[in-house]
Amino acid sequence: MTTYLEAPEAFAPSAGRVAVVTGGSRGIGRAVCLKLARDGLAVVVNYVGDTAAAEETVKTITAASGRAISVRADVADEHAVAALFDRAEDEFGGVDIVVNAAGRLALSPIADLDLAVLDAMHRTNIRGTFVVAQQAARRLRAGGSFVGFSTSVVGTQLPAYGAYAASKGAVEAITLILARELRGRDITVNTVAPGPTGTDLFLEGKTPEQIDALAKAPALERLGTPEDIAEVVAFLTGPEGHWVNGQILRANGGLV
């Protein structure tokens, strides 16, 4: 598969813009980091547990003459997230883009779900989004963007996804509200809702038959890739997408 960072010349000249990407060490978050770095942004790669993966993402960017650092922070911890933004400002001078790709997934029928699992997932997906959005609202510079993450399952409403879809429905609910609260500051707020995407988080625990069925569900008859979603994020956070505001973008290949 072609990656974003095959050669140093892939980087655009830096315009001095800075992105904070939560969950940036793996999957969609990593693809977003690589794409934004290729577009010339300095990138703060946030992670919570996998230090090696975060450092590998940073190494991939810096080896191609990009600028990146990794910063550990639990997105649901307001003090850690404030420190994450402090580090971004200290290292690169400010923050222009915030992409909250950190998330947690647990599948279970509603009747059987362990409530401790529910609480942990909602802590990351709801509280974490809110905490990161708070800091973004306070710190983003004019012309900036916040991108949250939902899921197309909010619309498809598949069995076993009840708790996960509920947590992502909360993300969708605050999107236009935050966009309106930031009126007058030239900051956009949008949420991307991927369909089935070939990440480790998505593939874990599924049989080949289940994966094949999910791949055939979209009209384009394939799984999305992290790079597909990164391109959508780059559009929303770039000048070409700045008129899009307060929207939920279902990037799912035609899934119904």
Q: Which residues are catalytic?
A: 164
> Phi/psi of residue 231, each to 5°?
-65, -40
The count of other CB atoms within 10 Å of the CB of residue 190 is 24
67 near 90, Cβ under 8 Å? Answer: no
Strand partners, 80: none
Residues ≥6 apart with Cβ < 8 Å to 51: 70, 72
Of 256, 202, 192, whose CA–CA distance to 230 is shortest?
192
The pair phi, psi for residue 98, each rounded to 5°, is -125, 125
